[in-house]
Amino acid sequence: MTQSSATDLMSGLLRDLGGYLRYLQEEGVTELAGIGAAGMPAETAGAGAPDAGAELARIAAAVKACRNCALHESRTQAVPGQGCARPDLVFVGEAPGADEDRQGQAFVGAAGQLLTKMIGAMGFTREEVFIGNIVKCRPPGNRTPLPHEMERCLPYLKAQLAVLRPRVIVALGATAVRGLLDVSTGITRLRGRWMLFEGIDVMPTYHPAYLLRNAAAKREVWADLKAVLKRLGREPPKREARS
């Protein structure tokens, strides 16, 4: 990212944050206590990274105030993403679903429960990684985000990744790959092949929602996740909780 584009991005985020703060003031909110990484309570934010946590909180506030596309009109809550402020590993999906829209957290529905198992099988907890989406608001009817919606929302994810500085990104599904890498090749052809996003290793694999419908593909995803562990210099736990 050039200095000019980074300046434009931060200017836009600050404008959105200003709008959010004005909204809070109108609602009578005078304090924002206990806010940590990505808008999470401070005790769940990444330990030892107060500056990163504060920056992620600012981005999360801008996301919640965002009116850059029509998706804000039907959302219950924006879903900035959550997790560790200095993770080795980031998971990026497509967009929030109904459960995520209701709770304001990424990957908390049925697909999220499966993702939690996948993360555990790798030897991590959800608190040790960061989980987010290409689009921060739920598209109506859980449809695939439209190109202009992805374009308007992607700067938030890019800003988060610039703060998070992960070693590896796992791109969950075709939309995540298309948003991050601007490629239209199908996920079946791309999964398992290392790619790069602004110098960060990216492993494309199937979305957990796809695995709920196609259990046989779990074997391929596990191979992809083991490749991620190898890239991180880690081994799977002896008891590989794959389900």
Domain boundaries defined on the chain: 3-231
Query: What span, in angstroms and rounded, lies between the C-alpha atoms of 94 and 53?
Result: 23
CATH architecture of the domain 3-231 equals 3-Layer(aba) Sandwich (3.40)
Mean pLDDT is lowest, of 34-48, 74-88, 119-133, for: 34-48
Query: What span, in angstroms and rounded, lies between the C-alpha atoms of 45 and 223?
Result: 30
Mean pLDDT calculated for residue range 118-144: 97
**pTM, full prediction:** 0.80
Has residue 148 got a pLDDT over 60? yes
Mean pLDDT calculated for residue range 120-141: 98
Query: What span, in angstroms and rounded, lies between the C-alpha atoms of 165 and 90?
Result: 9
Query: What span, in angstroms and rounded, lies between the C-alpha atoms of 170 and 216?
Result: 20
The identity of residue 7, as a single letter, is: T
Query: What span, in angstroms and rounded, lies between the C-alpha atoms of 156 and 10?
Result: 10
pLDDT tens digit sequence for 165-224 = 999 999 999 999 999 999 989 999 999 999 999 999 999 999 999 999 999 999 999 999
